Amino acid sequence: MSAAPGSKGKVLLAYSGGLDTSCILVWLIEQGYEVLAYMANVGQEEDFEAAREKALAVGATKVFVEDLRRELVEELVIPTIQANAVYETVYLLGTSVARPVIARSQVKIAQQEGCTHVSHGCTGQGTDQVRFELAYYALAPKLQVIAPWRIPEFYQRFPGRNALLAYAAEKNIPVSQTPSKPWSTDENLFHISYEAGILEDPNVTPPKDMWKLTVDPEDAPNTPERITITFKEGKPVRVTNEADNTDLTDPLDLFLYLNTVARRNGVGRIDIVENRFIGIKSRGCYETPGGTILRAAHIDLEGLVLDREVRAYRDEHITPVFGKMMYNGLYFSPEGDLLTKMVPLTQTNVNGSVRVKLYKGSLTMEGRWSETETLYDMEQSSMDVQGDFEPIDSDGFIKIQSIRLKKWGAKFQN
C-alpha cells in the first residue's frame, strides 16, 4: 500500500527525463515523498522543456532547470586543463568535472525549498553515486540521501529495463518510442561517455554509429584546419581561425567553438578500460573534442614558458593527485580545496599562444610564442650562435654529475 504523498518528507530528485529517473520519481511518490525534480543544463543535447512537462505530468510538484554551463567551464574545466589532469594517463575526466557543479546546485535548491532529502538515479556499481553523495554530505551534512538503485526493495522489483517499462505502462509514465541503444551515455559540454551493453565486452569494436559528437576521422575533411589558442596564466583567453573568421574571447564561447572545430575534424575519441573508485574495472568510450585540443595546446605552451622545476613538481605532486581527486568525487574535500588553490600558483607564467593543426583525428602543434615570458633564449639554444653561454662551462657540470656514477661503476671493475 502506498504511503500518503509527502508523509515521509520532501525530496529533490536529480532528473533526466529518461525511463529510470521517471520511474524513480513515481516510485518515490508511491513511498510517501513529495518529489521536486531538478535538471542541470551542463551542455547536453536535451529537450529540457519536454522533460519539465514530463516530470510535472508524472507527479513532481516543482521542476527546476539550471543552466550551469558557464560555471562548468570557468570553475571546473579550465582548472582541470591548467592542471593537465587526467585519470590513469588517458581519461580526461569528462563526467567527473561536471558532478561538482551539478551536486552543488542541487543542494542549494534543496535547502531553499526546505527539502529533507536529495535523490539520484546512479547505479550501485559505478563511481557517479560516490561523486554525488560525497558532494551532498560535504555541502549539506544534514541532508538525507535516497539512492534507489541501492535499495533492495527497488532493485529487486526492477531487475531490468522490461520491469521498468511495465511499471511505466502501469503508472502512465510517458516512454519514448525511440529504440534503446545497446549502451548507456552521459553527456555534457566537455564530453560524452558510452558504456555498458555491448561495450561490456572489451574486445567488441564500437559500431560506427555509436559516436555522436565527432565525425569518423576517416571521413573528416582532407584539408587540415588551423587555429591559434592564446593563454593567460594557463587559461584560454582567445581562439582565432582565419579560415572562418573566428575570433573569440569569452570562455564559454571559445570552448563551444573548440568543440565545433574538433568535432568536424574527428578529434577527441578514446576507448579504454579504467579502474572505478569502488574497485570494478569498466570499459568506457569517450569523446572529448574541445578538451583534447585545449589540454594538448596547454601542455605544449608550458614547454616554452614554465620553469623546469615548477613543471616537474606540478607533474609529480599535483597533476596525478588532482586527476584522482576529481575522478573519485572529492572536489569538495580538504585535499580538493588545497589542490584547487595550488594549481593557479603554477600557472602565473603560462602566457602565450599556440598554433594547432587539426587533421583527421590528429593534433599537431605547429608553433608557439610568448610576448612576455623569456625562459626560452634562441641564442642560448642555437647550434650556430654561441650567445652568452660558454660551452666550456658544461665540462664542470658533467664532472660534478659523474662523481657518484664513477663510484658506482668502480664496483663492477675487475
The confidence score (pLDDT) of residue 235 equals 98
The answer to whether 407 and 401 have CB atoms below 8 angstroms apart is no
Q: Give the mean pLDDT of 187-204.
A: 95
Could you tell me how many helices (H) and strands (E) the chain has, helices first? 15, 14
The confidence score (pLDDT) of residue 380 equals 67
Check 52, 69, 99, 269 and give the catalytic one: 99
Check 20, 52, 263, 314 and give the catalytic one: 20
Q: What is the spatial distance between Cα 248 and Cα 199, in angstroms, rounded to a whole number?
A: 38
The confidence score (pLDDT) of residue 386 equals 64
18: amino acid identity, one letter = G
Check 119, 128, 283, 368 and give the catalytic one: 128
Q: Residues 378-401: pLDDT tens digits? A: 766 666 666 677 888 889 999 999
Q: Give the mean pLDDT of 178-189.
A: 83
Q: Active site includes 337?
A: no
Q: Give the mean pLDDT of 127-134.
A: 97
Q: Active site includes 388?
A: no
The confidence score (pLDDT) of residue 14 equals 98
Q: Active site includes 22?
A: no
Q: Active site includes 128?
A: yes
383: amino acid identity, one letter = M
Q: What is the spatial distance between Cα 141 and Cα 166, in angstroms, rounded to a whole number?
A: 36
3-state secondary structure of 399: helix
Check 157, 184, 264, 315 and give the catalytic one: 184
Supply the mean pLDDT for the chain. Answer: 94
CA distances from 94 to 14, 79, 194, 305 (A): 19, 13, 12, 27
Which residues, including other chains, have CB under 8 Å from residue 28's CB and lie 6 or more apart?
Answer: 11, 13, 35, 119, 146, 148
Tell me which DSSP letter residue 179 carries. P
Q: Residues 326-338: pLDDT tens digits? A: 999 999 999 999 9
Q: What is the spatial distance between Cα 74 and Cα 67, in angstroms, rounded to a whole number?
A: 13
Q: Residues 209-267: pLDDT tens digits? A: 999 999 999 999 999 999 999 999 999 999 999 999 999 999 999 999 999 999 999 99
Percent pLDDT > 70 in the chain is 96
Percent pLDDT > 90 in the chain is 87
Q: What is the spatial distance between Cα 323 and Cα 317, in angstroms, rounded to a whole number?
A: 11
Q: Residues 75-92: pLDDT tens digits? A: 999 999 999 999 999 999
The answer to whether 286 and 91 have CB atoms below 8 angstroms apart is yes
